[in-house]
């Protein structure tokens, strides 16, 4: 069965979905705003009048309105449960936009396969407002529009290799976005955010997979979706979503997992002169946050690896297609250097897929930068200015004020309030191993594919709008001779290390 735009095969469940949303969405937003009145961020004004209005006037009024809407929302939620419980076998766990009418099928070949491809991963925290504020961010309704606006301001002049020759750190940290072919976003859980981003991005990215999630008692208690969002310039041929079975605490309320799409990249010449289809596989994931002493992320990576392998095996036709690349990206919630993350970073996934920012297990490249913000510093004026923040990230000492160090012993919610360690003698910040280096947003490329790393960027384009630093990667196609040389290099490095 071909992929389709809607989650549903016929009109009745589609109508039930619409009615359910109309009944529940007003309550969800009003309730979220009610809670938000009592969650103060560092962006907020602390005057007595401001706090009085929030706590004693606006909050209670919103609470009363939420109570009025509660009975109607309860009916809508019951409809949602019944729809997903009894209709699960016929529900597609995502929605898809395509430029053509129909079931999502595309023409055999649209054009010649390009030489280079660029990917971006960003956690944009477009979730209900009270969760946004818990993470010391603000106003999801304004941010979703602003984030889309900044994502569309792309600079094609940046799409030149910066990893193939002498690598200069200042070329890898950018306050502008290169031209991106595939966007992988995380934490787009709010339905309004999904539709808003689709509306804003669809002109440049005609193929968008959104509203992703399996809704059941076992995955998310019928509450939040996965938050995964994938926008592509290339036609989508097949899609798969796998919700993780190994989950903890909040993971039982959100359908976290891995979203994989097969893309039509255009035609490539075969060995005998015949025309083949070039295809690429892109996987977007968001793993468990704050796993504590339980190594649930490693088990999720095993699920990811097995799911992606199976999807490629089931959808690839070697007689008519050539796999150009398989890329995995997302918010992995662990880094390559923290002592507490060692059991995860030695996972076999990092043998099958390569991380361009890794020197080896436990050590990043000298130019790599952390991507997890110190949340309490998001309102700092330096973070709000993407150009100033770019220059701060180039300084290994200064960036420790704003990016978490890669020295984590255990992942807990205490990371939300962490501060950099200072020199006990001088009382000042100093350069330390892994300082400002907690790099949890990754883009990985499968070893042995028909491309190589060409560029990598750490981006300040949505500074202060998210608690994560977006990353982007460009790969370029290689011929068979180069491919074998790359394979020999990897084998040699494996034998050495």
In this structure, the answer to whether residues 137 and 80 fall within a common structural domain is no
Contacts (Cβ under 8 Å, ≥6 apart) of 485:
none
Same domain, 237 and 254: yes
Residues 160 and 109 in one domain: yes
Whether 342 is in a domain gets the answer yes
Residue 415 included in any domain: yes
Question: What is the arithmetic mean of pLDDT over 376-390?
Answer: 96
Q: How many CB atoms lie within 10 A of CB 93?
A: 22
Which of the residues 29, 242, 373, 468 is marked catalytic? 468
Same domain, 99 and 61: no
Instruction: Name the strand (E) or helix (H) holding 146.
Output: helix 140-151
Q: How far is CA 309 from CA 92, 142, 155, 314, 353, in A?
A: 21, 39, 34, 9, 12
User: Residue 393: its pLDDT value, please?
Assistant: 97
Is residue 4 domain-resident? no
Cα distance between residue 320 and residue 318, in whole Å: 6
Tell me, yes or no, whether 1 lies in a domain.
Answer: no
State pLDDT tens for residues 108-137.
Answer: 445 899 999 999 999 999 999 999 999 999
348 burial type by CB count under 10 A (0-12 exposed, 13-18 middle, 19+ buried): exposed
Looking up tokens 């392998």 gives 309
* Same domain (yes/no): 418, 363: yes
Note whether 461 and 366 are same-domain residues. yes
pLDDT score of 107: 43
**Mean pLDDT of all residues belonging to the chain:** 93
d(CA 452, CA 140) in angstroms, rounded, equals 37
Query: Residue 141 contacts by C-beta under 8 Å, 6 or more apart in sequence?
Result: 129, 192
- 197 exposed, middle or buried (CB, 10 Å; 0-12, 13-18, 19+)? buried
CATH number of residue 384's parent domain: 3.60.10.10
Last residue of a domain, which of 32, 60, 90? 90
In three-state secondary structure terms, 388 is helix
Six-digit token string for 357: 């920012």
Is residue 288 located within the same domain as residue 360? yes
Same domain, 213 and 83: no
Out of 72, 90, 108, pick the residue that ends a domain.
90
User: If we measure between CA atoms, which residue out of 132, 169, 121 comes closest to residue 441?
Assistant: 121
Could you report the per-residue pLDDT of 202-218, keeping only the tens digit for each?
999 999 999 999 999 99
pLDDT at 490: 56
Cα–Cα distance between 271 and 79 in angstroms, integer?
A: 55
Of 29, 58, 90, the last residue of a domain is: 90
Considering the domain boundaries, does residue 6 fall inside one?
no
DSSP 109: -
Residues 81 and 104 in one domain: no
169 and 56 together in one domain: no
Does residue 131 lie in a domain region?
yes
Q: How confident is the model at residue 485 (pLDDT cuts 50, 70, 90)?
A: low
The verdict on 295 and 364 lying in the same domain is yes
Residue 494 — pLDDT band, cuts 50, 70, 90? low
d(CA 305, CA 312): 11
Residues 260 and 387 both lie in one domain: yes
For the entire predicted model, the pTM comes to 0.94
Contact 281, 325 (CB under 8 A): yes
Domain tally, the chain: 2
Domain that holds residue 173: 95-496
* 380 a catalytic residue: no
The pLDDT, as a whole number, for residue 351 is 97
Q: Is the pLDDT of residue 227 over 70?
A: yes
Yes or no: say if 187 and 286 are a contact pair by the CB < 8 Å rule. Answer: yes
Share of the chain above pLDDT 70, in %: 94
Judge whether 380 lies within some domain.
Answer: yes
Say if 420 falls within a structural domain.
Answer: yes
């Amino acid at each position: 069965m071909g992929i389709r735009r809607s989650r549903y095969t016929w009109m009745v469940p589609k109508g039930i979905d619409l009615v359910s949303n109309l009944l529940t969405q007003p309550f969800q937003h009003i309730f979220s705003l009610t809670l938000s009145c009592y969650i103060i961020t560092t962006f907020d004004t602390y005057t007595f009048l401001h706090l009085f209005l929030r706590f004693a006037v606006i909050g209670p009024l919103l609470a009363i309105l939420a109570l009025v809407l509660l009975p109607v929302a309860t009916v809508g939620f019951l409809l949602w449960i019944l729809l997903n419980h009894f209709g699960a076998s016929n529900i597609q766990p995502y929605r898809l936009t395509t430029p053509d009418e129909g079931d999502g099928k595309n023409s055999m070949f649209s054009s010649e396969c390009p030489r280079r491809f660029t990917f971006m991963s960003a956690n944009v925290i477009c979730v209900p407002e009270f969760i946004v504020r818990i993470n010391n961010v603000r106003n999801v309704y304004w941010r979703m529009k602003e984030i889309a606006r900044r994502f569309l301001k792309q600079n094609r002049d940046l799409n030149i290799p910066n990893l193939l020759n002498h690598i200069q750190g200042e070329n890898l940290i950018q306050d502008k976005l290169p031209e991106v072919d595939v966007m992988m976003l995380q934490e787009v859980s709010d339905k309004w955010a999904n539709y808003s981003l689709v509306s804003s991005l669809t002109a440049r990215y005609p193929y968008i997979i959104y509203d992703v999630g399996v809704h059941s008692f076992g995955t998310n208690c019928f509450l939040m979706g996965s938050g995964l969002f994938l926008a592509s310039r290339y036609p989508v041929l097949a899609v798969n979503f796998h919700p993780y079975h190994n989950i903890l605490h909040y993971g039982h309320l959100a359908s976290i997992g891995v979203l994989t799409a097969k893309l039509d990249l255009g035609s490539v010449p075969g060995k005998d002169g015949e025309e083949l289809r070039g295809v690429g596989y892109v996987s977007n994931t968001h793993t468990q946050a704050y796993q504590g002493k339980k190594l649930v992320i490693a088990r999720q990576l095993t699920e990811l690896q097995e799911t992606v392998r199976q999807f490629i095996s089931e959808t690839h036709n070697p007689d008519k297609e050539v796999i150009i690349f398989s890329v995995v990206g997302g918010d992995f919630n662990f880094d390559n250097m923290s002592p507490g993350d060692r059991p995860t970073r030695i996972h076999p996934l990092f043998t099958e897929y390569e991380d361009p920012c890794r020197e080896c297990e436990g050590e990043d490249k000298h130019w790599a930068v952390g991507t997890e913000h110190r949340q309490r510093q998001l309102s700092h004026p330096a973070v709000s200015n993407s150009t100033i923040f770019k220059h701060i990230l180039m300084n290994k000492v200064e960036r420790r004020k704003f990016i978490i160090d890669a020295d984590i012993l255990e992942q807990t919610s205490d990371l939300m309030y962490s501060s950099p360690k200072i020199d006990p003698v001088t009382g000042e910040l100093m350069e330390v191993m892994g300082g400002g280096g907690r790099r949890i947003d990754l883009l990985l490329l499968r070893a042995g594919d028909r491309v190589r790393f060409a560029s990598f960027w750490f981006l300040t384009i949505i500074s202060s709008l998210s608690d994560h630093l977006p990353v982007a990667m460009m790969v370029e196609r290689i011929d068979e001779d180069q491919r074998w040389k790359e394979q020999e290099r990897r084998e040699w490095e494996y034998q050495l290390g």
